Amino acid sequence: MPGEFLRANPNDGPPVLGRHNLILRASARAHHVKDYPGPLSIKTVVKGQAAWRRDRRSLAVAQDSFLVLSDGEPYSLDIEAREPVHTCCVFFAKGFVESVHQSMTSGGLDAHDPIQTEFLSHLHPRDERILKRIAGIVGRADPPTFWIDEQFLALAQDLLLLYAEVRQRIGRLQGRKPSTREELYRRVSTGRDFIHARAFESITLAAVARASYLSPYHFHRAFRGAFGVSPHDYVTRLRIDRAAQLLRESPDLSVTHVAGAVGFESPTSFASLFSRHTGVSPSALKRGPGALKQLKPAASRLRTNGS
């Protein structure tokens, strides 16, 4: 995959994953990785969509989400697209995030509690920290090395704050033992990964619950407890976000086409839901950038702060 590595000290020999903090900005129409046990990393897609695979599960990443993979966790990647898919991936040196964790004395983190990155190793919806910071990295044509060094520290802190939020979500789940709540969070997170991979298809609560190894009742209750919304509302918001993106970036597409592309069977129902969530109609958003000023701030943003 054609791309460039960014790092703080370019004179420290050739870039080595796991040894150096590295940012890989890349683009390709076709690229494949199979069962690579990489370091702790953050995977983002700037344009297009890419499907990482972990434990035989597809993890579809687009502009509205990011993927965290733990150190040593084997993953595969498949990109096959007509237009180049642009990605930006952050690879942390072994022990770097843990060292930042030990230095943090605030933010709700216990510096003596070891980080269990397995709880982060899932898809995460758009947030106001990590994806915003990644966008700043993508937008810098020739960033100075000192600035790059600061970004690694900031991203490590962002990841640790996300970890603290995940622990809060686990604590809200029902279960007498911490191990029971942790296992329940693993399962509903697996369900959320399943939803992201199939959000624009016809999916059922039973199918998502089955992928999570939970009954529909227990999955629905645990999902709402962990993420603050029902699975149905979560899917709806993902679809609305994707529709808004298509309407902005592809004005030649009809509203009916966009509705079908994001999983809505009825264009009328789609238009009503879209207006309710965003404050503007699909047709108005298609007509021009003026409608962007009317969009409700974070109207369709999914809760990521654990509040």
pLDDT for the residue 291: 55
Does the residue 248 lie in any domain? yes
Please check whether residues 57 and 96 belong to one and the same domain.
yes
Please check whether residues 27 and 83 belong to one and the same domain.
yes
Q: Which domain holds residue 254?
A: 233-294
Q: How far apart are CA 163 and CA 111, in angstroms?
A: 12
pLDDT for the residue 299: 40
pLDDT for the residue 38: 94
pLDDT for the residue 108: 53
CATH number reported for the structural domain that contains residue 249 in this entry: 1.10.10.60
C-alpha distances out from residue 218 to 158, 185, 207, 223, Å? 31, 12, 13, 8
pLDDT for the residue 200: 92
Termini Cα distance of the chain: 39
Please check whether residues 20 and 158 belong to one and the same domain.
yes
Does the residue 304 lie in any domain? no
Helical (H) or strand (E) element with 166: helix 145-172
Q: How far apart are CA 225 and CA 306, in angstroms?
A: 10
Please check whether residues 20 and 39 belong to one and the same domain.
yes
Query: Token match 């509302």: residue?
Result: 233
Does the residue 299 lie in any domain? no
Give Cβ neighbours of residue 41 (< 8 Å, ≥ 6 apart): 68, 69, 89, 90, 91, 92
Does the residue 300 lie in any domain? no
CATH number reported for the structural domain that contains residue 117 in this entry: 2.60.120.10
- Provide the 10 A C-beta neighbour count for residue 136: 13
Please check whether residues 288 and 242 belong to one and the same domain.
yes
Please check whether residues 167 and 96 belong to one and the same domain.
yes
Mean pLDDT by 10 residues, the chain (307 residues): 79 88 94 94 94 88 92 93 94 93 65 70 88 92 90 95 91 90 94 92 95 96 95 94 88 91 93 91 78 50 42
Please check whether residues 182 and 108 belong to one and the same domain.
no
Does the residue 208 lie in any domain? yes
Please check whether residues 224 and 243 belong to one and the same domain.
no
Per the structure, the count of domains in the chain is 3
pLDDT for the residue 117: 76
What single-letter amino acid sits at 252?
A: D
- What does pTM read for this prediction? 0.83
Please check whether residues 50 and 147 belong to one and the same domain.
yes
